[in-house]
Structure 1
Amino acid sequence: MNFNKIHHAAIICSDYAKSKKFYTEILRLPIINEAYRSERDSYKLDLSVGPNNRLELFSFPNAPKRPSYPEACGLRHIAFEVDDIEAAVNYLNDNKIDVEPIRVDEFTNKRFTFFSDPDGLPIELYSI
Structure 2
Amino acid sequence: MLKLNRVHHIAIICSDYQISRHFYTGILGLEIVGEVYREERDSYKLDLKVGDQYQIELFSFPHPPERPSRPEASGLRHLAFEVDDLDASKALLEEHGVSVEPVRVDEFTGKRFTFFADPDGLPLELYEK
- Distance in 2 separating the partners of 1:15 and 1:51: 27
Check the 8 A contact 1:76/1:122 in 2, yes or no: yes
- Distance in 2 separating the partners of 1:30 and 1:61: 25
Q: Which residue in 1 is equivalent to 2:94? A: 93
- Distance in 2 separating the partners of 1:70 and 1:97: 20
Check the 8 A contact 2:69/2:77 in 1, yes or no: no
Return the letter of the residue paired with 2:7.
I
The unaligned stretches of length 5 or more in structure 1 are: none
**TM-score, normalised relative to structure 1:** 0.96
Q: Which residue in 2 is equivalent to 1:106? A: 107
Q: Kindly tell me the number of residue pairs found equivalent between the two proteins.
A: 128
Q: Classify the secondary structure of the residue corresponding to 1:39.
A: helix
- Report the CA distance shift for 1:122/1:48 in structure 2 as closer, same or farther (over 3 A): same
Cα shift at 1:70: 4.5
Extract structure 1 runs of 4+ deviating beyond 6 A.
none
Q: 82-91 or 65-74, which moves further after superposition?
A: 65-74
Check the 8 A contact 2:35/2:46 in 1, yes or no: yes
Check the 8 A contact 2:69/2:122 in 1, yes or no: no
Q: RMSD value over aligned CA atoms? A: 0.9
Q: Which residue in 1 is equivalent to 2:84? A: 83
Q: Which residue in 1 is equivalent to 2:49? A: 48
The unaligned stretches of length 5 or more in structure 2 are: none
Q: Which residue in 2 is equivalent to 1:63? A: 64
Check the 8 A contact 1:33/1:45 in 2, yes or no: yes
- Distance in 2 separating the partners of 1:76 and 1:91: 24
Check the 8 A contact 1:70/1:76 in 2, yes or no: no
Map of 1:29-40 to 2, 5 A cutoff? 29-40=30-41
Return the letter of the residue paired with 1:22.
F
- Report the CA distance shift for 1:12/1:43 in structure 2 as closer, same or farther (over 3 A): same
2:23 matches 1:22: yes
**TM-score, normalised relative to structure 2:** 0.96
